[in-house]
Amino acid sequence: MKLIDAARVIRSKNAGPTQVTLDLMFDTREMYERALAAPSLKAAVIAQRFNVAEAEIIPYPAANAIKIVLPRRIIAGTPGDTDVYGAQQHRPILDLEI
């Protein structure tokens, strides 16, 4: 099953000048646990997908959610930054199999 079909919400957003966060939210505990256990959502795999240093994966079981914290390649708002709000950064994980 693809992540885009399993998650209710997949979004990215600015988390300050040096980080972007990805939020994955699931309707059921079963889907949340499946995603959390998926090899495709391990920190090293996510980091490789985004071509960044290793990501931080933060489970939040109370909300059936997973937060992924990515370092930005360049500081937000500096020349060369293409998405200061971090709003379009989640695309590389939509097709992950969980």
Question: For the segment 44-94, what is each residue's pLDDT rounded down to a tens digit?
Answer: 999 899 888 888 999 999 999 999 999 998 899 999 988 888 888 999 999
List of domains in the chain: 3-74 (3.30.70)
Instruction: Look at residue 76 and give its three-state secondary structure.
Output: coil
Half-sphere exposure of 98 (CA within 13 A, CB side): 23
Report which residue type is found at 59.
P
Q: What is the pTM of this model?
A: 0.90
H or E, element range at 58 = strand 56-60
- The C-alpha atoms of residue 37 and residue 56 are separated, in whole angstroms, by 15
pLDDT in tens, 11-36: 999 999 999 999 999 999 999 999 99
